[in-house]
Structure 1
């Protein structure tokens, strides 16, 4: 799927989901405490349509999540995924707070729940995006740092688990960078045919031996 199509689909699904969530939530906040079915119910009966709007709320939540999943970058970086996240949490949080503050006919128990919901949703929505931004903008590790070079040698199959562990234990000591230099030169020379397999293994053994 083309990137632009994914972004458009993400926003459409996210907005549709958030709208359905608000429709369902708005109805349920107007009902207050209620219960349906069973012989021992002491609260008032739920009005007709409560189950329907509960399903609308659940379906809207699934659509909203689908909007995040459809985005190219999800929640890992700036993009439609984080936008849909903000719409869901911050948008709905503000909406329920405004409803509780402006609608006099709202049941008292729903009003309290709305203020609590908004007080939780808004910081969760903003806080998560801010946290992800700080993580992605942190200074990247120097690719020539000893630890980065060591991990690269392991990931490329040059070092097995035991050799990697031995070198990692001395990576901060004097001469550790020289060991990595020897390994990297040995890998390059072996790949270019300047070293035979026994010669390559000898150099590798001398660089990884820490006893």
Structure 2
């Protein structure tokens, strides 16, 4: 039997990410989240998983680590009286490699020269913690993958794109909702997950812990409301 109090809750949505793209997706979907950035050492997490870890496992475990880190950091904060914490991690799986943020122009250039005219799968891990009274009472995690078909930007256009700095800060060195959208020929799957947070998957994860979208809207109204 389900807990009536859980069904009537209006939990605060805590986004464990500094990504402006994820924040934008949630706000456009009617949710104004509380943002708290995790301080997880992603290289350390991947190191513990080992080189043979499946790509979907890597992104999901990174997302879980981020959600747990933010939960720990907020211990004692009133926001944890009734909340859901969501951590995400995105990486591009292409040519048997799992690629995160390039961080440098040289690496981004090399990646784009290899990606031009090809395709890869953008994987996004999601981890959701249901918190009541400062205690984790439910957890759900999963990943989603979307096939991305890349265009063939000219060398001139590629250099102009690299000069903006945008591709250095995002998984796979591209965006769908920004300047990089000019160079994406198509996708097969959920566009919101390519941007950074998959709304259909988050809806599913909420359902696994006894929550629905109406409750999320009620607990996280737009700032202007």
TM-score by length of 1: 0.23
Q: Which has the higher contact order (CA 8 A, sep 6+)?
A: 2
Higher-strand-fraction structure = 2
TM-score normalised over the length of structure 2: 0.22
Larger Rg: 1
